[in-house]
Structure formats: structure tokens, C-alpha cells
A = this chain, B = another copy of it.
Amino acid sequence: MKCLVTGAAGFIGSNLTDRLLREGHSVLALDNFSTGFRDTIQSALNHPAFDLREVDLLEPGDWSDAMAGVDAVFHLAANADVRFGLNHPRRDLEQNTLATFNVLEAMREHGVRRIAFSSTGSIYGEPTIFPTPENAPFPIQTSLYGASKLACEGLIQAYCEGYGFQGTIYRFVSILGERYSHGHVFDFYRALKQDPTVLRVLGNGKQRKSYLYVQDCIEAILKGLRDQPGISIYNLGTDEYVEVNDSIRVICEFMGLTPHLDYAGGERGWVGDSPFIFLDCAHIRSTGWKPRLSIREAVVRTLEFFESNPWVFERK
């Protein structure tokens, strides 16, 4: 099939792109390279079924024609910076909500109906049920990032109901693995490379988080695609969680370090940080999908990637 991938130069988008190409699909990639990087799509660029357009999703006049003849849209482009959202509230609105609206409108214009969308477990705010199912009590948003993804989900759902779109929404936990370059495993590894004697930790280190290996994530995305009108919603994670302290332990063991841990204190790493993310993934498991790597294995796989790809840190 002819696939359009937004954010194709990003962490998940580039891994998905490689997988789609390996399976014989063609990929039209859209990226503005604001957070994506050319390194990640180097091999794809040599593939005859790959095409790249460097465009801004906020300027649909520049790219909406790309939708012509597309069978499925994988809309992964986003501002994924949860933590500093309060410093620039317009960014989540524009890069997430408005960009998604533009993607949906371009699809409608060209008769494209099938969309896979990367949402987030952050959409549950601070849930009261663990593991948290997709039909958890109507959540209250605690971050601009979560609010913007909620807005995107609502739009996609309304397009499914009103225009016969075939939508799948995936609510991710944090994703780890090859090309990961954003988040606390990244931050800890880089900090310890710079100073192996001390590690500053936001919050009290007892925040409980879930992670999923990127190839498991991509497998789930492909499993969940709809081929009929309507909406499907899947949490994507493993059936476990770890404390931030647990991942620090894995990282320190891997690096052979015993730094002093300097905690900022408090239950949350920052305003809007969720102290406990643990999703009920029974729905995606009902498709036959299951993750191949545990959280610990995914952290180690990520660290191995860092060791052999120092460019990830140089480009920042």
C-alpha cells in the first residue's frame, strides 16, 4: 500500500518507515526536521519506494497534494516535549492540534480515509485506576501536551463518525529503543557521560513509569490498523511498570557507575508530570499482539544503541 508518514524522520516515524519499506509498501515521508533528523532516514533515502518532502504541516498548501492516492496515513508528527510545554503554550496547540486538523482536512480533500495516530498515556492525566483502561473515567488534563493530544483524538473521532474515516488511536507509554533521543533514559545517560559522580533526579525517583520497545510499538501499530469506518483506541505498553529509580539502577549497572543520586524531591518531576503511568493493554493484546522486550530489556537495548551511536548526543 501507499503510506504517508508524518514525522517520518522522528524516532518512531523513522523506525516505522523502515518497517513499511521492508514489508514492500511505499512511503511518502513528511517532516519539517524541527526535531527529526536526516541520520534516522539515511537508509530509507536510498530505497526506491521512499520519497521525502520537507514541509511544515501548518502550511497545508505546500503539501496537501501529497495525499493523492494514499492508502493509509501514519500521523506521528508532533511536539513531544511534555515537560516544557508551559514555557510555550502555543507550540502544542499548533504542532499537535492544528497540524492534525490540517492532516485530516488534506485526507478528506483527497478521499483518504485511513489514519493511525500516535496519542499518549499522558491523556489520562493522573488516573485513579491502574492499570488504566481505554475507557477509564473521563480524565482531567494536567499538561498542555496531553490537552493537545486529547484535542487531536476528538477531531479524529469526529471525522470517523462524520466522514466515514477509519481511525486508530494509540495511546503510548514512553517508547524506547533504536534512535530514541528524548526522555529521561537519554537525559540520565548523557548526564552520567558528562559527570559520572553525581546524577540529578527530578522528583523523588519513585515516580512509576511504563516503557515499550519501539519495534513492539510498531508491531502494535500495524496490528491495530482499521479497514472499515469507525474508530479503534488502543493503549500501548507492557504489563509492567518501573520506578525511575529502577531505570537509574539499570543505567548505572550498564555503565558500571555508582553516582551520588541528588533528588529534587516531590512526587512529580515537574508540573504536570504524572507520578504513575501504567496502562491496561488488554485491548491490543486481544489482537494477538504481545511485546517481545520487557522494560528492562528495552532500557538496555536503548543504552546499547547510545554506545554505538554517539551522534545522537552530538546533534543536540
Taking Cβ atoms with an 8 Å cutoff, the residues of A that contact B are 85-86, 89-90, 93, 97-98, 101, 104-105, 108, 125, 134-144, 146-148, 150-151, 153-155, 157-158, 161-163, 231, 233, 271-272
Q: Please, how many angstroms separate the alpha-carbon atoms of A148 and B148 in the complex?
A: 11
Contact of A162 among B140, B155, B162, B272 (CB under 8 A): B272
Contact of A141 with B157 in the complex, beta carbons under 8 Å: yes
Contact of A154 with B158 in the complex, beta carbons under 8 Å: no
Q: What's the number of copies of this chain in the assembled complex? A: 2
Q: Please, how many angstroms separate the alpha-carbon atoms of A300 and B157 in the complex?
A: 37
Contact of A154 with B162 in the complex, beta carbons under 8 Å: no
Interface centre among A90, A101, A137, A141 (most CB of B within 10 A): A141
B-side contacts of A140, CB under 8 Å: 157, 231, 233
What 6 A-B pairs have minimum CB-CB distances, sorted nearest first?
A147-B154, A151-B151, A135-B137, A141-B157, A147-B158, A150-B154
User: In the complex, what residue of chain B is closest to A104 when comparing beta carbons?
Assistant: B89
Contact of A157 with B136 in the complex, beta carbons under 8 Å: no
Contact of A158 among B136, B137, B155, B272 (CB under 8 A): B272
User: In the complex, what residue of chain B is closest to A150 when comparing beta carbons?
Assistant: B154
CB proximity of A202 to chain B, nearest CB, Å: 16
Contact of A163 with B93 in the complex, beta carbons under 8 Å: no
Contact of A142 with B163 in the complex, beta carbons under 8 Å: no
Q: Please, how many angstroms separate the alpha-carbon atoms of A231 and B138 in the complex?
A: 14
Q: Known A86-B162, A101-B93; judge A138-B138 contact (CB<8 A).
A: yes
Contact of A161 with B143 in the complex, beta carbons under 8 Å: yes
Contact of A161 among B89, B142, B154 (CB under 8 A): B142
Q: What are 16 contact pairs spanning A and B, CB under 8 A?
A: A86-B162, A90-B101, A97-B97, A135-B138, A136-B137, A136-B138, A141-B158, A142-B158, A142-B161, A142-B162, A144-B158, A146-B158, A151-B154, A151-B155, A161-B271, A161-B272
